[in-house]
Amino acid sequence: MPIEILMPALSPTMEEGTLAKWLVKEGDTVSSGDLLAEIETDKATMEFEAVDEGVIGKIMVEEGSEGVKVNTVIAVLLEDGESADDLGSAKAAPKADAPKEDAKEAPQAKAAEAAAPEVAAPAAPKGDDGKRIFASPLARRIAADKGVDLAQVSGSGPHGRIVKADVEGLSASDTPKAAASKPAEASDAPKAAMATGPSASAVAKMYEGRDYTEVKLDGMRKTIAARMTEAKQTVPHFYLRRDIQLDELLAFRATLNKQLEGRGVKLSVNDFIIKACANALQQVPDANAVWAGDRILKLTPSDVAVAVAIEGGLFTPVLQDAHHKSLSALSAQMKDLAGRARDRKLAPHEYQGGSFAISNLGMFGIDNFDAVINPPHGAILAVGAGVKKPVVGKDGELAVATVMSVTLSVDHRVIDGALGAELLNAIKDNLENPMAMLA
């Protein structure tokens, strides 16, 4: 039976994407692991691999197509012994929703619809938690025929996808279905709808007669809009602010950069901020946490995300185990991640996860600002510019110091006020005593 190749979900949040480029053509023979296409998600351009082997019988979605929904059939793969004659129902699929052009075509359409169940794979299954289970069309068909519950099967394909080899030796008795929990689900209280602004047509009507340029939203901008709206409507933010004196750090940085000059290493203030936050999450472990719906997850490592501005949006690549890394290692990794972020070449695992984020606008001369938490993170640090200011010294004398203002935005579901203050004080102490961070 022909195998439907579906638009993949290349990240947990992906709902649609752009089929940027086909790397195969009709008639090409492919094996598992061969590259089929380049797909643009809301964050990056990624290569899509074949899971099954066969011959590309029909390309259903042209390259350059935007807004292709996940699970849409993008191509059909012929297995050994099959030919183009087996593609009848697959060819008819795109016309299923089209209006009838001729009454004479109706019997053919009905015949195609009748034949479709014989070759179409079952819909993508979902686990007990409602999340989609990734399985190839052939694996889904075999599982449906045998009564195998895919939620109980571990996939051996790319990114844990379930493939033919994972299910062909199984039977229904090997994968007992978990007890259904429909009554419990039915009793859940309905969720209140999020508030929305005026419609696009209503806004356009306000500006009738005025010159403007309409900018189409790309996938990244749509995702940023959705995520930030979700964050401000569902995350109970509160804000903590401190001024941090940087003179000792700046002097220490200058000394280190002079010593590291021969190795081509140049540390930035941001590298010290990353290290200070990573260490602070170890010093205040209860604050190294994320919100997980009905529970809090406390992380052991310090995985710190850093906002990187790119054309048309931003990424937040994550530096994992930042507390274990030297300043020079953090600097090199941050430069690499930032460079690939601007080229939109980051893989999903490089910008997902983490418990804490940093957003630094100091290089733009911004004194201070409040950053929006990126769920499920517990907090985000907004960093302003270092500015010369008059300060009162420990001896009571007036002096001039380089002062940086920071604001910690905190999710009150995860971190309470006193715990947030403890975390921010640890960050401040680390930055004002930079040599201690290396101990």
Helices (H), 122-239: 137-146, 164-167, 182-187, 200-206, 219-234
Give the other-Cβ count within 10 Å of 259's Cβ: 10
| 412 among known catalytic residues | yes
Residues belonging to the chain: 439
Q: Name the helix (H) or strand (E) containing 356.
A: strand 356-360
Cα-Cα-Cα-Cα torsion 216, 217, 220, 223, nearest 10 degrees, comes to: -170
Among candidate residues 159, 323, 324, 412, the one labeled active-site is 412
Distance of alpha carbon 137 from alpha carbon 50, whole angstroms: 12
Helices (H), 97-136: 106-119
Contacts of 352 (CB under 8 A, 6+ apart): 11, 12, 318
Q: DSSP 3-state assignment of 364?
A: helix
Let me know if 63 is exposed, middle or buried by CB neighbors in 10 A (0-12, 13-18, 19+).
Answer: middle
Distance of alpha carbon 369 from alpha carbon 408, whole angstroms: 10
Q: DSSP 3-state assignment of 269?
A: helix
DSSP for 23-46 reads SS-TT-EE-TT-EEEEEE-SS-EE
Distance of alpha carbon 287 from alpha carbon 409, whole angstroms: 12
Distance of alpha carbon 112 from alpha carbon 390, whole angstroms: 80
Quick one: CA dihedral 18, 23, 26, 30, positive or negative?
negative
Active site residues: 412
